[in-house]
């Protein structure tokens, strides 16, 4: 069966646009968390987020007109995919497109709801209520004509495939952190099974939009309420942690068969060697008390990669900074690695980038590949007082570390119990 390697990475995060900007920011210990600027968050309990500043997709996307049809999230997807292709140096044509796949994950739900403001206001009664009948009569002249098309969940599949004529296997995965990592895992399997020679895969999200922030702000214990702490508010595995901070952006990879990559003398970041999944089979935001779903996912990835737990050098942890999320992740790591967990380097990048939701797992895959490639691992920022109940790994507190990573794991956990693990290794 073909070996699968990573030859391109495209990142858009609150640390910057481009893989170099994000990686350097992580290693330097910078954070992109700040008070939300894209809208007034003063009515929310959580007013912090990781926004992509100075995002100018028109400088990267070849067809400028298409940008007008995209939500901000879909702009992240298209731009992130283009950056990954550019980083890989691969060139697509009609013939290659037949053997090229595309897999995308996100938490996209709707169009830009700002388009509904004008027709809604036009249909108001004197008491402020909306006359639905009048709304229907006037919507054809006041509503955005492409509102439905813009809101299609899988719209990013069309726009990315159109640019590069990708005609092979493709799927959109709807979900949260697990969605983007699942997309990359599915791309790995597509090449492994001979369905494709090249795959564009990743995740994206605009989780700091007013729509997402308003929904998640109502969930007790999920988002931090310590607005006064600013960049120090998200504190994974710390005794004082009280919730995560949302971020926005995209993380895409170019996956190729090793044979295809060698034929064009491509630079290789890492090899993908295993994929595993598991489910907590419980309610929303209610992980299994022992992290059983994540344990199953990690075990599955290691089994497929034919790795013993002690061979793993680094784990890109999910580490959201929530009370139960961090605790159960630590328990899962202990369950898999046993005594070896005490010396296992594991870190969460969420204090630096925020929780990118649909892109969070894909970002962890990119971080793991970059750690393998550069021989360094990013820190867990803000870890000042480690929670003794989470003391099951070396969480790389506060500062990055040089480390030769022969084998690494990227983890992702969804809001309703989905768990995914991806194994990546140095190319031998």
CA gap 101, 97 in Å, rounded:
8
Whether the predicted pLDDT of 410 surpasses 90: yes
- For the chain, what is the mean pLDDT? 94
pLDDT tens, position by position, 28-84: 999 999 999 999 999 999 999 999 998 999 999 998 888 988 999 999 999 999 999
Does residue 229 have a pLDDT over 80?
yes
Residue 137: pLDDT band (50, 70, 90) is: confident
Buried b (16+ CB within 10 A) or exposed e, 326-345: bbbbbbbbbbbbeebbeebb
* pLDDT reported for residue 149: 74
Task: Give pLDDT, residue 286.
Answer: 85
Q: Find where tokens 């892109």 sit.
A: 359
Q: How far apart are CA 181 and CA 231, in angstroms?
A: 26
Locate all alpha helices (DSSP H) within 306-394, ordered by sequence. 323-337, 350-353, 360-374
What is the 3-state secondary structure of 106-149?
A: ECCCCCCHHHHHHHHHHCECCCCCECHHHHHHHHHHHCCCCHHH
The percent of residues in the chain predicted with pLDDT above 90, rounded, is 83
Sign of CA dihedral 144, 142, 210, 57: positive
Return the sign of the alpha-carbon dihedral for residues 68, 72, 73, 76: positive
Domain ranges across the chain: 4-110+151-425, 113-150
Distance CA 224, CA 112 (A): 26
Residue 428: is its pLDDT beyond 90?
A: no
CA distances to 9, 76, 233, 311 from 158, rounded to whole Å, are: 20, 14, 38, 40
Q: How much is the pTM?
A: 0.95
Structure tokens at 294: 């994540």
Domain 4-110+151-425: CATH architecture, name and number where available:
3-Layer(aba) Sandwich (3.40)
* Sign of the Cα pseudo-torsion (138, 141, 143, 147, in order): positive
CA-closest candidate to residue 122, choices 103, 108, 139: 139
CB atoms within 10 A of CB 141: 10
Contact of 197 with 212, CB cutoff 8 Å: no
State the pLDDT at residue 64.
87
Tell me: pLDDT of 205 over 90. yes
pLDDT at 309 over 90: yes
The least confident of 262-276, 284-298, 358-372 is 284-298
Tokens of 63: 């067809």
- Looking at residue 135, what is its pLDDT? 76
Q: Compute the Cα dihedral for 351, 356, 359, 361 and give only its sign.
A: positive
Q: Per-residue DSSP letters for 56-100?
A: -GGGT-S-GGGGGGS-HHHHHHHHHHHHHHHHHT----HHHHTTE
Parallel, antiparallel, or unpaired for β 270-279 and 4-13? antiparallel
Report the largest interatomic distance among the alpha carbons of the chain, rounded to a whole angstrom: 72
pLDDT of amino acid 85: 98
- The confidence score (pLDDT) of residue 321 equals 98
Choose among 239, 199, 226, 398: nearest CA to 326: 239
Give the model's confidence band at 132: pLDDT under 50 very low, under 70 low, under 90 confident, else very high: confident
Query: What residues contact residue 224 under an 8 Å CB cut-off, 6+ apart?
Result: 46, 48, 233, 234, 241, 242, 243, 244, 245, 321
């Amino acid at each position: 069966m073909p070996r699968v390697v990573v030859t391109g990475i495209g990142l858009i995060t609150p640390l910057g646009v481009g893989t170099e900007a994000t990686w350097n920011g992580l290693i330097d210990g910078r954070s992109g968390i700040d008070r939300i600027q894209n809208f007034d968050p003063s009515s929310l309990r959580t007013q912090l987020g990781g926004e992509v500043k100075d995002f100018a997709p028109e400088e990267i996307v070849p067809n400028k007109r298409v940008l007008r049809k995209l939500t901000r999230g879909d702009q992240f997807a298209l731009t992130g995919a283009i950056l990954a292709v550019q980083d890989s140096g691969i060139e697509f044509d009609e013939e290659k497109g037949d053997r090229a796949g595309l897999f995308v994950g996100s938490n996209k739900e709707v169009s830009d709801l700002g388009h509904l403001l004008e027709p809604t206001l036009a249909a108001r009664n004197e008491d402020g209520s909306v006359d639905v009948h009048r709304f229907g009569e006037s919507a054809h002249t006041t509503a955005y004509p492409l509102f439905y098309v813009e809101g299609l969940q899988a719209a990013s599949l069309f726009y990315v495939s159109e640019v590069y004529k990708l005609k092979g296997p493709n799927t959109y995965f709807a979900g949260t952190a697990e969605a983007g990592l699942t997309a990359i895992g599915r791309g790995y399997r597509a090449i492994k099974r001979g369905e494709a020679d090249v795959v564009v895969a990743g995740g994206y999200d605009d989780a700091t939009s007013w729509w997402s922030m308003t929904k998640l702000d109502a969930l007790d214990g999920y988002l931090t309420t310590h607005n006064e702490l600013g960049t120090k508010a998200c504190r994974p595995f710390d005794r004082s942690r009280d919730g995560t901070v949302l971020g926005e952006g995209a993380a895409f990879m170019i996956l190729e068969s090793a044979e295809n990559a060698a034929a064009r003398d491509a630079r290789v970041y890492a090899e993908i060697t295993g994929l595993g999944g598991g489910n907590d089979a419980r309610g929303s935001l209610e992980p299994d008390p022992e992290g059983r779903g994540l344990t199953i996912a990690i075990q599955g990835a290691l089994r497929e990669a034919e790795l013993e737990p002690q061979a793993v050098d680094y784990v890109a942890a999910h580490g959201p900074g929530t009370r139960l999320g961090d605790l159960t992740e630590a328990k899962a790591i202990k369950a898999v690695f046993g005594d070896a967990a005490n010396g296992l380097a594991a870190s969460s990048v969420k204090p630096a980038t925020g929780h990118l939701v649909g892109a969070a797992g894909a970002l962890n895959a990119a971080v793991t590949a970059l750690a393998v490639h550069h021989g360094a691992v990013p820190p867990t920022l803000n870890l000042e007082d480690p929670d003794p109940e989470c003391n099951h790994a070396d969480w790389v507190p506060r500062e990055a570390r040089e480390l030769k990573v022969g084998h690494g794991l990227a983890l992702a956990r969804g809001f309703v119990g989905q768990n995914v693990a991806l194994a990546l290794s140095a190319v031998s």
